Amino acid sequence: RERVGAEAPLEIVITSDDPSLNRALAGRVREELATWPETRWAIDRRDPSVWLDHRLLYLPAPVLEELADRLDDVVAFEECDAMPGCVNFDDRPAFPTEAELAEKLREVPEIRALARLFGAPLDVPLGPQSSGDESPSHVLTGDAPSTLGSLCDADGSVCAVQASLDVDASNLDRAAEVLARAEAVLARVRPSDAPTSLRMAVSGRFRNGPMTRTSVEADLRATTYLSLALLGCLLALQFRRARALALLLLPLTVGLCLAFGVLGAFHPELNLISAFTLAILSGLGIDFGIHLLTHYGTLRREGLAPPAAVVGALEHLGGSLVAAGLTTGCAFAALVAADFRGFSEMGWMAALGVGICLVSFLLLFPAAVLLAHRLWPEHGPWLRGDATPSSSGPRAPRVVLALGLAVATVGVALAPRVAMEQDLRRLRSENVSHGIRTRGAIHGTTGAVVHLLGSDRESLERVATALREAPELQQEGEGALVLTPDVLVPPESAARLAAIARLRETTDRLRARAPDDAGLTRVAPWLEVDRALALEDLPPWASELLRERDGTAGRLGLLFVPMRGSDARAMEELSQWLEGWRRAHPEVTFASPEAVLGEIVPGLREDAPRMLLLALAGLVLAVLVLGRSWRRTVLVSFPVAVAMLGAIAVMVLFDLRLNLYNLLVLPVAFGVGVDGAIYVVWALEEGPPEERWARFRTCARAVLGSTLTTLAAFGSI
């Protein structure tokens, strides 16, 4: 990014059943965009005139010398034929035809690249042919029609406008402003009698970024309101008092503020996954409060006064509460060893946050309960009735264990079939995509972009030549489009200019003899080349392609690979190609923003099972240290493992695929499962059966309540 200067252009796409209307509207939009103060250039056509005027500079010097020799032979023959006493023993030499010139131009890779850039096939006749020549001309061997280079597809059903703005599309506030202004332009130019098939839309990064942000913000507002409503309903079902919500939210809010204050001191660079830590901490942190509040309510229902009930809840629950917090923190902390940065950063952030939330509840919950009772004395029970049976049947444990083993077996068998979502377009909001295919209109420069950064022009061109012939880039008989300095600006060559000067001189002599010859008249402008083409001669849209951030040019090239940047499988393949090219051509740096996805997805795929194993290892170690018992360790680990394997089985059976977003459900579900297992195991460890069962009923109620609140928070999404 330090060297690549060009930003993504603003793109407008227009489609209807009327090609002439599409072209006319594209022209009006271009005129409107050109008036914006931040517009560097705006086009609805890539004008090839400058390359047509300098087309002969692309031919090798020996080819030009050969053409000059043939013209000299023609001149010599005609001069001898006109001179009395001079006899030509050979037949009249053949005059070079446009078809021959077209064939020679077709052989030049840079000319083929330009043909793809302008969107015209190689066999389109562009003007009258030389006498007796019925062969079609090359795209760059005739006069340019007004549609050559037009940003429209072959039948004109889709047209596009591109504008380079002095605005960074990654700045979403500015991009949103540009989007709104561009949509206002489209509204102004839309005809009052427009056909129903007419559709106009902003495309590219200036659309995707702002609209995705707007969609996410709207979703966050909706899900926040929905989750709060569901949370309130669930708490109302479990607790009889409205103050329950305040007693839960006060310690949670303080804990989250402290956690993020501590995190802010480390100045972490949040990414998509680590930023989700807030939601994880909210879901896990409130669990501590629900368990405390449930045990407090149970003791109050048994007749204890508020101070005694608070002390009793802490005595009964303190050990398991601390154990649950520490084991959950250790499980998350184990993720620090993951290779994928998103998981490793989320691991230490979540571990730190869980610990702070636990301390916040242990310190603030008792004080908040007693203060609330002093200000507004409690009357009546806290909890609603409990319909849990007083005991389970003798066969129930065996049935539950058998079901658990069966679920684990199925999960292990199906685990290898868990799939990653490859097409990230399915993850976008529906309103982000405009649904108009632009590939045929924006010729050649669509797909994934690979920047070629060379140390000098020669090494860059050598690598570009190799890439044009690379087998993996061959598409329908043609290599991928590679734009380099030699494509847009042929290197200066004194031999070429000298050969063109010979051609011009000889043609002038021929025209003096036959001034009305149509072929000579048409060819003459091609020869008005007396200097090399320079970067300053190019239109702004072309010079910007290969200009580096510091304004220099000559060491930057662009490779356009016909792959969708949202196709994770294709980007993974492109990433592998890049690695191979880097090894084969170390003198050039290869960089592709789209190919980063191809590096992330394999890392996620490899880290997902390792992440679960690391979290499970952290859980086992923490339980073993805190519980000082292998029995407790097995009792906590087994149900958590069964639950995770069951979730994997459900994902496979219902074709639920992992992606960059829902992959977060694995550590979240793991953390919630660890909490529940700790509370249940600690409740059943000591005391007579009746007392253990009573503790289990209270604990199960708290686990169910905390799980439902977590489901409400995440399910609302």
How far apart (Å, rounded) are the C-alpha atoms in residues 427 and 657? 11
Question: Which runs of E-coded beta strand occur in 4-117?
Answer: 10-15, 39-43
SS3 state at 490? coil
Do the beta carbons of residue 702 and residue 313 sit within 8 Å? no
Mean pLDDT value of segment 321-327: 82
Look up residue 656 and give its two tokens.
């639920």
pLDDT digits (tens, 9 = 90+) for 385-433: 555 555 555 667 788 888 888 988 998 898 888 877 766 666 666 677 8
The band of 491, judged by pLDDT with boundaries at 50, 70 and 90, is: confident
Look up residue 50 and give its two tokens.
């400058």
Mean pLDDT value of segment 590-607: 75
The pLDDT of residue 477 is: 55
How far apart (Å, rounded) are the C-alpha atoms in residues 499 and 63? 9
* Inter-axis angle of helices 568-584 and 457-468, nearest 10: 130
pLDDT digits (tens, 9 = 90+) for 93-148: 877 777 788 788 888 888 888 888 887 644 333 333 333 333 333 344 444 456 77
The yes or no reply on domain 448-493+534-593 and CATH 3.40.50 is no
Mean pLDDT value of segment 501-529: 77
pLDDT-wise least confident of 227-241, 313-327, 366-380: 227-241
Percent of the chain at pLDDT > 70 equals 83
pLDDT-wise least confident of 315-324, 380-389, 510-519, 604-613: 380-389
How far apart (Å, rounded) are the C-alpha atoms in residues 188 and 31? 12
pLDDT-wise least confident of 79-88, 461-470, 659-668, 696-705: 659-668
Domain ranges of the chain: 209-383+396-422+600-715, 448-493+534-593
The pLDDT of residue 572 is: 83
Does residue 21 register a pLDDT over 90?
yes
Percent of the chain at pLDDT > 90 equals 19
Mean pLDDT value of segment 529-549: 87
Do the beta carbons of residue 712 and residue 230 sit within 8 Å? yes
Mean pLDDT value of segment 671-683: 79
State how beta strands 199-203 and 556-561 pair: unpaired
pTM of the model: 0.74
pLDDT-wise least confident of 167-171, 182-186, 274-278, 701-705: 274-278
State how beta strands 158-165 and 10-15 pair: antiparallel
How far apart (Å, rounded) are the C-alpha atoms in residues 182 and 186? 6
Q: Which residues of 505-535 are buried (b: 16+ CB within 10 A; e: fewer)?
A: ebbeebeeeeeebebbebbeebbebeebbee
For residue 452, the cross-strand partners are 557, 590
Mean pLDDT value of segment 319-331: 80
Does residue 476 register a pLDDT over 70?
no
Does residue 300 register a pLDDT over 50?
yes
The pLDDT of residue 195 is: 93
Max Cα distance, the chain (Å)? 138
How far apart (Å, rounded) are the C-alpha atoms in residues 678 and 672? 10
The pLDDT of residue 124 is: 36
Average pLDDT in the chain: 81
pLDDT digits (tens, 9 = 90+) for 207-223: 988 988 888 777 767 77
3-class SS string, 509-561: HHHHHCCCCHHHHHHHHHHCCCCCCCHHHCCHHHHCCCEECCCCECCEEEEEE
Does residue 716 register a pLDDT over 80?
no
pLDDT-wise least confident of 449-453, 497-501, 666-670: 666-670
Does residue 670 register a pLDDT over 50?
yes
State how beta strands 556-561 and 448-454 pair: antiparallel
